[in-house]
Amino acid sequence: MTDIKKGLAGVVVDYTAVSKVNPETNSLLYRGYPVQELAATQPFEAVAYLLWNGELPTEVELARLRATERSYRVLPADVRAGIDLVPLDAHPMDEVRTALSLIGARDLAGSGSVLDASGSAAENLSRSIRLFSVLPAIVAYGQRRRRGQQPVAPRDDLDYAANFLWMTFGEEADPVVVDAFNRSMILYAEHSFNASTFTARVIASTLSDLYSAVVGAVGALKGPLHGGANEAVLHIFDEIGAAENVVPWLDAALAEKRKIMGFGHRVYKRGDSRVPTMKAALDTLVAHYDRPDVLALYETLESEFVSRKGIYPNLDYPSGPAYNLMGFDTLTFTPLFVAARIVGWTAHVIEQLGANALIRPLSEYNGPDERHIEGYVPDDAVL
Ligand code: CMC
């Protein structure tokens, strides 16, 4: 019997120097740095630089990246027109996927044959920075369009996180909110060979282009077993309503064998290393917005579910209510994940192309035995 690893669980498929997930010590390192240290001390732009280049930027390098980021913040008019073709009631992840595909088509127009598609490392780094820079405009435009609001132009005097919130809400965010948002972007930026990153690496391994890899990754991230879980957590919170409803709600949900979104992880079985940092950010938001009811629901559901099933929260559990408190629409949560994870995806595409091997696993056939079309006479039998 072939030993099939369903879902590739436990299979190590390649090396990576981008990040290290260690479920034993409950730690996550980006290029060697613990993610909680980065979240507490760095702006997201510096962490993006680290993930792409392997080292934190000097002041000059950070200033240069920030200048480039500012220069690509505006959504090109034709991409905006393309987004407008996406139905308003389509899922925003479909809108993001379409926008990134259009940006790729624009950028690669006239670039020749597929043989040149994968591009050099330098070209791919500058494409990565461009996507990282324009994604806030795509996400902010999407939320405003669904709310019937006009787009808001970026502000050159604001750094990435503050400008993202400005373009979404049209007002300057409180530093407490900017800090919590910046931390969430850092925590979401990278997580080794998760489903969407692996998708990006599979696509890159065929020597396709970086944009195609990223568009495929968006599709993988949309699912509720992956990035879609942060949105799903809020749907659950809305269903439960308040802390006192948790026990009857959970009794019914478990009796129906429902999966409780925001809990469980393929790699971490004793708690997700990113949760304490995001929970601390959620605590600051709860205090800032004076919403102890949110905390009560969060903590009651967590303790009830953990004590009954021994399954711990993942990053999507605290980030869902955090984004809700900040004012994002529930449907915007997974696009926010895209804006962060674009850094990890692109760092992995560049790494994959640096030591490429086509990713092409095998399968064990379990369909019907060989059979034949009645009356078919093979060509060589006619002669
Ligand atoms: N609610 C209820 N039961 C669960 C949950 C959950 N959230 N997670 C795992 N289980 C149970 C599952 O039903 C199974 O039970 P049994 O052995 O009796 O059939 C057992 O635990 C093992 O679960 P699994 O789904 O086989 O484990 P996995 O490693 O394949 O799945 C997971 C990991 C993330 C897909 C799963 O925990 C899940 O579906 N969680 C809810 C969705 C979610 O929060 N996803 C976000 C993941 S982390 C952030 C990200 O990557 O985006």
What are 147-175's pLDDT values in tens digits?
A: 999 999 999 999 999 999 999 999 999 99
Whether 170 and 281 have beta carbons less than 8 Å apart is answered as no
Q: Which of 192, 196, 181, 187 is nearest to 332 (CA)?
A: 181
Distance 271 CA to ligand 1 centre (A): 12
pLDDT at 37: 96
More confident call, 168 vs 269: 168
pLDDT tens, residue by residue, 311-364: 999 999 999 999 999 999 999 999 999 999 999 999 999 999 999 999 999 999
What the block records as the tokens of 265 is 């992880």
Task: Report the alpha-carbon distance of residue 333 to residue 227 in Å, rounded.
Answer: 9
Distance 260 CA to ligand 1 centre (A): 8
Distance of CA 370 to the CA centre of its chain: 43
Question: Which atom of ligand 1 is found nearest the CA of 233?
Answer: 44
- CATH fold, domain 229-326, is Cytochrome p450-Terp; domain 2 (1.10.230)
Check: pTM over 0.80? Answer yes or no.
yes
pLDDT at 383: 59
Answer yes or no: 265 catalytic: yes
**C-alpha distances in Å from residue 68, one per residue of 159, 160, 367:** 12, 11, 53
Instruction: Give residue 379's pLDDT band: very low, low, confident or very high (50, 70, 90).
Output: confident
Whether 286 and 292 have beta carbons less than 8 Å apart is answered as yes
pLDDT(122) > 90: yes
Task: Report the alpha-carbon distance of residue 344 to residue 367 in Å, rounded.
Answer: 38
pLDDT at 114: 87
What the block records as the tokens of 282 is 């959620």
pLDDT at 22: 87
Share of the chain above pLDDT 70, in %: 99
Instruction: Give me the mean pLDDT over the 167-187 stretch.
Output: 98
pLDDT at 58: 98
Residue nearest to atom 34 of ligand 1 (CA): 265
For the chain, what is the mean pLDDT? 96
pLDDT at 20: 97
- CATH fold, domain 17-223+330-354, is Citrate Synthase; domain 1 (1.10.580)
List ligand 1's pocket residues with C-beta within 6 A. Answer: 7, 194, 225-227, 229, 259-266, 311, 314-316
Residue nearest to atom 39 of ligand 1 (CA): 225
Catalytic annotation, pick one of 179, 191, 265, 348? 265
pLDDT at 27: 87
pLDDT at 382: 64
Instruction: Give residue 115's pLDDT band: very low, low, confident or very high (50, 70, 90).
Output: confident
Q: How many residues does the chain have?
A: 383
Q: Which residues touch 65 (CB under 8 Å, ≥6 apart)? A: 45, 48, 49, 57, 129
pLDDT at 374: 96
Share of the chain above pLDDT 90, in %: 91
Answer yes or no: 174 catalytic: no
Catalytic annotation, pick one of 179, 191, 209, 226? 226
Distance 253 CA to ligand 1 centre (A): 14
The H or E element that residue 346 is part of is helix 333-354
pLDDT tens, residue by residue, 216-252: 999 999 999 999 899 999 999 999 999 999 999 999 9
pLDDT at 253: 96
Long-range contacts from 329-333, C-beta under 8 angstroms, 24+ separation: 329/143, 329/146, 329/147, 330/231, 330/234, 330/235, 330/238, 331/91, 331/92, 331/146, 331/231, 332/92, 332/139, 332/142, 332/143, 332/168, 333/230, 333/231, 333/234
The domain locations on the chain are 17-223+330-354, 229-326
ipTM over 0.90: yes
Instruction: Give residue 117's pLDDT band: very low, low, confident or very high (50, 70, 90).
Output: confident
